[in-house]
Structure 1
Amino acid sequence: MTRRSQRIKGKVVTYTEAQDVVVSDAADTDGEFQNDDGKGENEEERPRKKAKRGTRSKGSSTDGDYRAASSSKKRRIPEQFRKVRGRLGLLERLAKDVPLEVILEIFCYLDPGDLLRLARTTKDLRGILMSQSSESVWRTAREGVEDLPPRPDDLNEPQYAHLLYESYCHICGHKPCDSVFWSFRVRCCKSCASATFTECDDPDFVTGLPREYSMRRRDVLPWEYLKGSWRYRDVVCHTGITARYQAEFEALETETERNEWIERKIDERRKRVEHANLCQRWLQARLDRRSNELDDIREQRREAILERLEKIGWREEAELSMTSFWLSDDFASHKLVRQPKKLTDYGWNSIKTELVEWLTRRKEERLERQRRNTLDRRYKLLSAEYDQSKSRHDLHDPFPSKGDILTSKYFEDLIWDTPLDEEITAEFIKSEFLEHFPLIVDQWRPAKTQELVQVMQTIRPGASVSDLHLATTVFECTKCLPRTLMHYPQMFYHHCCFENRETNSARMAEFQYIFSNPWSSKSLILSGHGAQAAKEIVEACSLDHTTATIQDLYNANPLIECKTCHLNGSSWYGGRLFMRWPSAISSDHRTHTLSINDFGDETQQILASERSDNLFFSACCAYCHDPIMKDLLRLQEHLRLRHNDILNWGADDCIFPLSLAEARTHFYWNPTVELRRLCATFRYNKDSAQTAPSVYYASSLNFLRGSMLLSSDDEYDESD
């Protein structure tokens, strides 16, 4: 006759009673082993509840009796087992019918985690596994686990298995929790650590306390961090263990006993630390193995999904999404793909529609991105050709902006109407640009010049194109604060004239970051104050304001004093304020009282006070159109180094600076520089003026070299 456990012999459990078994929670499993003779309170059998039979009311049929009996049977099955597939109660029958020796032999092939979960299934299996006689089964199962550290002396087998395998916080129950404080024999999440553990103080017994490193502190004030009090990890102690150790320490009476106790606890802590290191390495290896297993399952699922997508024609798009624009595998990271479970027919049917919709959106985004990248590359090739052409172009004449060229019908059709799969090379763009760019400029320039004439005609009805070159024709921008004053052709390079987005085409709007808007004269008006100031300056130079041009004003280069801005004092910022004509027109001085070329014998002393480095001047080379800054010497050096093949200068021609008459044939004023930036004001103080001839002529020569604004008849001899 087979040997049966004494506990099982005394039980006769029916199938219905097996369904009413309440599973003990994890806290009960971690207790000490139970004795074979005694019974726990949780192991007492519950009285069987009798099923209520449905009563038959008047007028009811036999179908009603059947429904009542059926509903009574359903009430006998607990709610948590009603949707479970398969037959219930197999483990109960295993505990009743299979010999105990066979059961224990089977359990030896499980790991401690399986035994722990198996003990929570039924009362009978819990009684077997939590019995003191089953300790050898737990030990055999534990020894069968690879690289598992030995069991510590302060834990029994179920407690050790619970610490190793149950991945939830022992304080709040949060799962998963892989943060184990091995010295405290507890798992604890980050939120519970601060309340459960405390920083170690310095009593006598603290050297023997089990210690752990907690998480990083987050409640640190900035000045604490600067003082160096912020630490990556805090050494903490367990509150309960600390109280127990303190009670034991204080119970000792003699100093010898306390020292022996401390030495014993220090040795125990050292052993705990060594064991904790072994446990942490084992746990990390177990987590890594599990992570690799999940990665393999995800990889298998991804390949299975790709095979299914290939049958419906979406595999290529899925593979393209693996190398997306941001170099991330969007397909593998999709929530439907990266699940760590194998793909079944049912699972595929449930995700197919959503996955195909996602791939459809991805395809639309990819095609749109390819379209934008292709158009962007074409625009940049055309933009590079424009920049090279502008650097070689004479800026005396109005030059179209990049937006004017790119929005022209020919180039816009070339970029947009050419099929996206057709390659457009840089050589092709260059040839097309060189062929059609001059034609576009020839059409654009007279049209925009006529717009300026129309702006003039609002004030001067009889104005014509020739009036644009008059010195008294001054435009101002209504968008600038303060308003910028300009002569022709400065307005074609003024930034406010390219801020009218309505002048751009709908196609080009999405590529606004590449180029500016086409040029527009909407913000320009004819300046009355500027024209009046220019008229006074021209007449003071004995010129006719109806015929004097801008170049005539440059040749006259009058010296102007603002009497309104005179400051008393002998310091460097005190004295009379002088300027050249661009400052008198473009700044606020145009509304002040001005004195022009009327300084008598003081003229030379005033010129001596003007420093050449106060003059911000920009000229363009007449040959290569590069901007040349500051002085005649730099102009001569530029001509000698880059254009001597045209000038054929000898060695003697490069020794002395060029005269202004000679220099004017090699440069022109840069129209991209605003009037107010052409020159700076300076102050003259009679008491501190330098009147020595050598000093005066040196300063005057520096001014001539810096400004290049004097007339061709003015000659200075340094030998005087």
Structure 2
Amino acid sequence: MKRPKHEDAPGSESLLVEAQDTKPIRSRARKGGLSLLPTISLDVLFEIFGFLKPLDLLNLARTSKAFRNLLMRKSNAFIWRASRSLIPNLPECPSDLSEPQYACLAFDPHCYRTELSWNRFQHHLAVSSKILRAVSENPYKVRRFTEMIQTSQYEALSLRLNGLDCAEQTLVIEETKKAVRAIREVRHISLAGFKIVNDVALKHADACKAWLSGVNRARSDELHQIREGRKRIIKEWLETEGWKPEIDYHTWWKISKHRAIKDSRPLTARIWSRIRPILTEYMLEMRTIRMEETLYNSRRRILLQAWNDFLAEPASFPNTDVDVLPHVADVARFKPFDDIIKLPAHVVVERDTFLPAFVALPNLVRNWRRQVDQQLAAIITNGYPKEYAPVGDIRQLATSVFVCNACEQLFFWIDAVAHNCSLDFPRGSSKERNDSFKEQVARIAYYSLGSSPWSPKFRSSTVLAIHVIRSCCQDPRTATLTHMDSTSTPFYCFACHPDGKTVMHWRKGVCSAFLVSLLVSETFAARTQSLTQQSSFRS
């Protein structure tokens, strides 16, 4: 029984048409086009092959069996000779190679014998030339030596093979043995006749070397011309966009080192659309560096002089109600001062120009100190054990002890804020430093002011302070610096002075405990290293 036909709902046909219209139309690929080429007339195929280069013929011969049978047939060697004639100054095919073998050796970058991707042609020329010269000079010595080859580490025929891997050494050994077998086969030929054949091979190898050197030189010149043309176009565009002051200051030699400028690919519309934002961002960085070195540095030195004058006259210095003042490197980053430093170049900045900014200094310093305390509090909080939760103002607790990562000294809260290592620029080897744009700008400001903005370089030593405070019969959660100093509980360390004659203050005790822990850790590391070295020597 057939199902009854139902009429479509109104508007369903239009919806179907819209859905079909929105579906992307994909072109159908043409199949089997290349397989029809062997069916074309041979005269037409040979005419087409005459315009192909040897590497194109090699790739075409690997597409199908029909092309391979056609191109690899010995009677069709004229196709390869016609293709080879398209290569200027290429030497003729040697007698010991077929035309396809010669084309594969000269143009195919992949070596199917050693399964390596390298320049076979250049390596073949170097090895063959040395072997042939050695055979020509003393063939019997080569025969005696090659019969003893059983290892991969040797020097034969002035061929230094230490830099080759096993596959390449095997290739050299086979080439040497092939030359020796050739000597055995032509024993009946006089040595003079053999030298004639050898000289012909050497001349062909030298001609191939000269051709290869010319090809490499021509390719190098071509890439150089492309790079220079690309640089010239980019330089003209940069000067048109107003970046000439940066080019004159940094020199075009330095700017052209950017990877988007020194690339060897010709400029196209697609490449232009991609590198324009990159070049604009790069030139903005170059402009910032130029302004930092030529304009902002001199204004920072004026600020440094004004800051020193204010510090020398406390009466004229505004009341900030803080115990530690920031360094001038931090003051230069405050917004009122930074705005004056980065005024346009035509504005003259003098010492009195910074006076309005000093009016807002009290609030700026308070905000700076608040941020410093927050960073130090985060370090101390992370160093607390789980069972000890700080109670009260963490800045006043006796457990707030820091250790400098740079100088390995122990500090309490106030001393940590004023520690000099927090103002040093990060130093290290050139490989460890990150030469980013921000770090370059920070380094320029550092050399102009003699310091970098305050940055914590501490780790928490709360655990040691807890042990010392507990030995004084105090609660580490609530003990403050004032309370510990007022109680002044004396104690001594059994590890340093077992006799108990040396009595210490609790602050000195924290320092002593830190030094003992540091000494023990270094001694343990030294012993571990010495034991590791001994075990390695024994093994």
Query: So what's the TM-score if we normalise by structure 2?
Result: 0.43
Query: So what's the TM-score if we normalise by structure 1?
Result: 0.35
Which has a greater percent of helix? 2
